[in-house]
Amino acid sequence: MRVRQTPVLLLLMTCLLPARAEWHHREAAIMGTRIAVELWADDPATGERAVDAVLAEMRRVDALMSHYKPESQLSQINLRAAEEPVKVDAELAQLIVRAGRLSEMTGGAFDITYASVGHLYDYRAHTRPTDEQVAAGLGAIDWRHVVVDPEASTVRFSRQGVRIDLGGIAKGYAVDRAIALVGEMGIRHASVTAGGDSRIVGDRFGRPWIVGIRHPDDPGRVIARIPMVDASISTSGDYERYFDEGGERYHHIIDPKTGKSAGELRSVTIIGPDATTTDGLSTSVFVMGPERGLELVERLGNVDAVIVRRDGKVLYSSGLEAP
Ligand code: ADP
Ligand code: MG
């Protein structure tokens, strides 16, 4: 049902409805991040089943694509694909193809083979590769080293030393999958969040959902509030996984050209049609920097951006009005 009433009226109506339509809300820690689900269902059992389905789907995608789990298909690719084609689920092969398209579109700013050097960073342990190690690994960074055979559903690497990581796109993908599942269950109002990636379906009591973009240095401060209906939003920041050393910030968004943390921006938020797109693009624009990044956003046309520069200045794409 579409909700167009005021909250008071709605409350009255829900009292009269025998089926007890209501909001369902749950949070969990999956994929190394905070998952939050909020959805409206016409009856409580459907609502709870839908929330369960979202969390189960997140766990399924994580088990398939996590680089932390040695038994995941992604880890199997990293282990064996330089030797032989590795058979994977069609879904994973397709996401790797999609990542490759994003690499092309962004001139290589987005590149899942960044991990050939990226895996040498440990943000928790505050360790990073030496300049020599970075230089030695750079040759293995190039998405064209990853060869997918969609028919056979296999992935292989064209040279040694290549590693891939889907951390820049997998959470958005999992959110999209979860939203598709609840849609099949008849849910028409929902918000699913995985870390910095959210997708919204429908409205909330007849009004847009409001998603806040946090200040890079203060999780309690909001720099912009974005009204959202049937859209996705992703933020990439230098404050998620990082350590500071000698006045430099070493964080988890790596410029594939240098093998080092991308330094021009503090955060990038992308608003767009689906979360796989916004997740991939927020990481990409972060690497591309403000000029090339905004140029891409304007060229694509179906996405918007809020960019926080290193000096604190906030830039908006033309589809958003500066407050
Ligand atoms: P999060 O939501 O985890 O903060 P982001 O969307 O900001 O993630 O993407 C950061 C993640 O993307 C990193 O943790 C890493 O797994 C991956 N990544 C880092 N640099 C790149 C890159 N240049 N291209 C593709 N993926 C990247
Ligand atoms: Mg991303």
pLDDT for position 19:
58
DSSP 5: S
Cβ of 195 below 6 Å from ligand 1: yes
Q: Which atom of ligand 1 is nearest to the CA of 103?
A: 24
Q: How far apart are CA 155 and CA 201, in angstroms?
A: 34
pLDDT tens across 184-224, in order? 999 999 999 999 999 999 999 899 999 999 999 999 999 99
Q: How far apart are CA 191 and CA 175, in angstroms?
A: 9
Q: Which atom of ligand 1 is nearest to the CA of 32?
A: 3
Among 257, 270, 262, residue whose Cα is nearest residue 310: 262
The 3-state DSSP class for residue 322 equals coil
Q: How far apart are CA 61 and CA 56, in angstroms?
A: 9
The 3-state DSSP class for residue 93 equals helix
Rounded distance from Cα 247 to ligand 2 centre (Å):
25
Q: Which atom of ligand 1 is nearest to the CA of 287?
A: 23
Chunked in runs of 10, what are the mean pLDDT values of the chain (323 residues)?
47 52 94 96 95 98 96 98 98 98 98 98 96 97 98 98 98 98 97 98 94 95 96 96 95 98 96 98 98 98 97 96 63
Which residues have C-beta within 8 Å of that of residue 111, sequence separation ≥ 6? 103, 141, 142, 143, 256
The 3-state DSSP class for residue 300 equals helix
Which residues have C-beta within 8 Å of that of residue 169, sequence separation ≥ 6? 95, 98, 99, 102, 110, 112, 276, 279, 280, 283
Q: How far apart are CA 52 and CA 48, in angstroms?
A: 6
pLDDT for position 1:
40
Question: Are 2 and 207 within 8 A, CB to CB?
Answer: no
What pTM does this model have?
0.93
Ligand nearest to the CA of 100: 1
pLDDT for position 110:
98
Rounded distance from Cα 232 to ligand 2 centre (Å):
12
Give the position of tokens 């994977």.
Answer: 88
Residues with CB under 5 A from ligand 2 (ion): 168, 236, 279, 282-283
Domains defined for the chain, CATH in brackets: 73-157 (1.10.3980.10), 196-323 (3.10.520.10)
